[in-house]
Structure 1
Amino acid sequence: MSNDERPAPGHGPHDEGQIDWEVAGPLLERGAELHLPLHEQAAAWLRELLVGPGADGGQGVDRVLDVGSGPGVITCLLARAFPAAEVVAVDASAALLERAHARAGRLGLGDRVRTHLAELPDGLDALGGADLIWAARTLHHVGDQRAQVAALGAHLRPGGLLAVCEGGLTPRFLPRDIGIGRPGLQARIDAACEDWFCEMRAALPGTVDDIEDWPAFLADAGLRTPCTRSFLLDLPAPLSAAARACLQDTLTQGLDLYGDRLDEGDRTTLARLADPDDAAGIVRRPDAFLLSAQTVHTARAQ
């Protein structure tokens, strides 16, 4: 599991039995880097919750777990936000953890960032307690999300904070009329992605059909003072070449995963958008933008 998995702009693919993480790792890393401004806002908020407004140095935060860390982009961000803490990148992919380890070394954080290979819902017992547990777009790949929130909460030290990044707004990246195909393509892509996502959830082992009320999950886990906040990423047109390349990666993945859920005309349009050599493709479009919001739900151990 990783920090950027759902197949929509800003998320990568997720079909764990088929993914080659050696190949997917660079794509996930680029996507997470694109969203760093959003996560920097979230990290600053978490720091306020844990150590108070204007506090310096992250006093009292000695241990942070990034559960579903992927290639470690957010892991390293958390290490910078909490400079006194040991930060552990937890993921089920050894290839992604290797990228996290290498990234921490490049950024001079190798002495405080370590990795732990584990698959949810098991595999965390060897890590002990933490002052902050961050789980971003990870829990929706576990069948029983309510039970997993409780399991993560049990690893918090007294007063520690669990932060679950789930939900927000579906990213927007194209005008309604893009000059090719039928207007309104993005809405139909969103619907196809949602159908795929529902089927993915239904096929998970031990899946529970539950209302996705994250604050209620946190309360049921015995955690207190729940807080929810959303963070915006607003990259107006024209996008940088790097940002458009990330969108092109995601559209290509979307074509593979749920293109067969679109009609022939929309599949053709999506294929043109994903084609780096097409004049109407996303990497050549001056009208491409990225507007995204992610929601973070937090609560504290007793």
Structure 2
Amino acid sequence: MAHSHSHSHAHPPRPDGTGGGQQDGLTEMLDLDAAVFGPYLATVTDRIARLAGDGVTRIVDLGAGTGTGTFALLERFPAARVTAVDSSPEMLARLTAAARDRGTAERVRTLRADADEALAGLTDTDLVWASASLHHLDDPGGTLAAIRSALRPGGLLAVAEMDGVPRFLPGDAVADRPGLEDRLRAALDELHAEAVPHLGADWGVRLTAAGFTVERADTTRLELRAPLPEGTGRYAFLTLTRVRDALDGRADPADLAALGLLLDGGPHDVRHREDLAVRSGRELWVARRPVDGP
């Protein structure tokens, strides 16, 4: 069964695509992620639009969360309607409210379901967007086959993934714990290997095996520095708070204590550091269901 990225399993924190142990702060973090990485998302939807061409009217957003992809796609494809799929009623309620506020409620349908359940009733879809959600799949091959069946011949699947939690800090962020963020990231990688083993997969290989034709594959290294978008400090705070929660009992206690200094409102707190940056790796695959063939 496939899981959308808002599940509340004891996974590492979103925005690496996993849900973290609780929903506290998650919806706000998703919205801030959209604000911080908005220009990159605009670039991605431009790339998809060039491949999709005219006539896109039916879109599915798998693991829609609070609607980052949904609203970007509605803007890029003005004749389209989007079915936003997520397993979290809280996320879908927030998305629905945002659609009303934006005046796009008539163009959005929400569906509370896991990906495979949602796809069972869908056909003739022009575009499926799956951002930070496919690595939750228990059966990637089966769900990719279901996505292929839900697409019309010639329809597109866009898979967007990231290389884990963004990095925010210089190596000497805490003077007596150099390399703190590198060690925390290594501990998260171990947790990923257990909880979300498909994170970091080569989806190009899997898409080809599922009968898609991969038409674009991009890897982008993003590095944002001052002046940073509004809310970046809060975004870093929420993300690293979830890192701390996910690694409780799994990382060096001294490293977790040092991480606490970055979250306690004191002089090292990420919310008001002048040396804060955001570094993240992003990947995109755009694949087409062939016009010919079964």
TM-score over 0.5 for the pair: yes
1:24 equivalent in alignment to 2:26 = yes
Kept in 2, the 8 Å contact 1:228–1:297? The answer is: yes
1:244 alignment partner, one of 233, 238, 252? 233
Q: Give the C-alpha shift of residue 102 in structure 1.
A: 1.1
Kept in 2, the 8 Å contact 1:66–1:88? The answer is: yes
With the length of structure 1 as denominator, give the TM-score of the two structures. Answer: 0.86
Task: Give the equivalent residue in structure 2 for 1:261.
Answer: 250
2:216 alignment partner, one of 217, 222, 227? 227
Q: Which amino acid aligns with 1:289?
A: A
**Separation of aligned partners in 2, 1:9 and 1:201:** 12
Task: Give the equivalent residue in structure 2 for 1:278.
Answer: 266
SS of the residue 1:182 aligns to = coil
Q: Deviations over 1:93-141 (max 9, x none)?
A: 1111111111112112112122111113323222333111010111111
SS of the residue 2:115 aligns to = coil
- Judged with a 3 Å threshold, the aligned counterparts in structure 2 of structure 1 residues 169 and 267 are, in CA distance, closer, same or farther, namely closer
1:199 equivalent in alignment to 2:194 = yes
1:181 alignment partner, one of 152, 176, 180? 176
Q: Which amino acid aligns with 1:33?
A: A
1:44 alignment partner, one of 43, 46, 50? 46
Task: Give the equivalent residue in structure 2 for 1:55.
Answer: none
Q: Give the C-alpha shift of residue 73 in structure 1.
A: 1.8
Kept in 1, the 8 Å contact 2:69–2:131? The answer is: no
Kept in 1, the 8 Å contact 2:5–2:63? The answer is: yes
- Judged with a 3 Å threshold, the aligned counterparts in structure 2 of structure 1 residues 4 and 107 are, in CA distance, closer, same or farther, namely farther
Task: Give the equivalent residue in structure 1 for 2:98.
Answer: 103
Q: Which amino acid aligns with 2:114?
A: E
Q: Which amino acid aligns with 1:279?
A: P
Q: Which amino acid aligns with 1:44?
A: D
Q: Give the C-alpha shift of residue 20 in structure 1.
A: 3.6
Q: Give the C-alpha shift of residue 162 in structure 1.
A: 0.5
SS of the residue 1:197 aligns to = helix
Kept in 2, the 8 Å contact 1:226–1:298? The answer is: yes
**Separation of aligned partners in 2, 1:289 and 1:47:** 30
**Separation of aligned partners in 1, 2:87 and 2:124:** 19
With the length of structure 2 as denominator, give the TM-score of the two structures. Answer: 0.88
- Judged with a 3 Å threshold, the aligned counterparts in structure 2 of structure 1 residues 192 and 8 are, in CA distance, closer, same or farther, namely same
- Judged with a 3 Å threshold, the aligned counterparts in structure 2 of structure 1 residues 40 and 231 are, in CA distance, closer, same or farther, namely farther
Q: Give the C-alpha shift of residue 239 in structure 1.
A: 3.5
User: Cα RMSD between the aligned structures?
Assistant: 2.5
Kept in 1, the 8 Å contact 2:66–2:94? The answer is: yes
**Separation of aligned partners in 1, 2:246 and 2:88:** 21
Kept in 2, the 8 Å contact 1:41–1:231? The answer is: no
**Separation of aligned partners in 2, 1:261 and 1:30:** 27
- Judged with a 3 Å threshold, the aligned counterparts in structure 2 of structure 1 residues 179 and 272 are, in CA distance, closer, same or farther, namely closer
- Judged with a 3 Å threshold, the aligned counterparts in structure 2 of structure 1 residues 297 and 144 are, in CA distance, closer, same or farther, namely same
1:127 equivalent in alignment to 2:116 = no
Q: Give the C-alpha shift of residue 224 in structure 1.
A: 1.6
1:301 equivalent in alignment to 2:289 = yes
**Separation of aligned partners in 1, 2:199 and 2:12:** 22
- Judged with a 3 Å threshold, the aligned counterparts in structure 2 of structure 1 residues 20 and 293 are, in CA distance, closer, same or farther, namely closer
Identity, in percent, stands at: 33
**Separation of aligned partners in 2, 1:260 and 1:181:** 21
32-41 or 132-141: bigger deviation: 32-41
Task: Give the equivalent residue in structure 2 for 1:288.
Answer: 276
Task: Give the equivalent residue in structure 1 for 2:139.
Answer: 144
**Separation of aligned partners in 2, 1:134 and 1:12:** 14
Task: Give the equivalent residue in structure 2 for 1:213.
Answer: 202
SS of the residue 2:262 aligns to = helix
Kept in 1, the 8 Å contact 2:224–2:277? The answer is: yes
Q: Deviations over 1:7-30 (max 9, x none)?
A: 468447524xx5347x53233222
Q: Give the C-alpha shift of residue 293 in structure 1.
A: 2.6
Q: Which amino acid aligns with 1:253?
A: R
Where has structure 1 moved over 6 Å in runs of 4 or more? Answer: 3-6
**Separation of aligned partners in 1, 2:118 and 2:164:** 31
Count the aligned residue pairs: 285
SS of the residue 2:50 aligns to = helix
Q: Deviations over 1:244-264 (max 9, x none)?
A: 101100111111111322212
SS of the residue 1:261 aligns to = coil
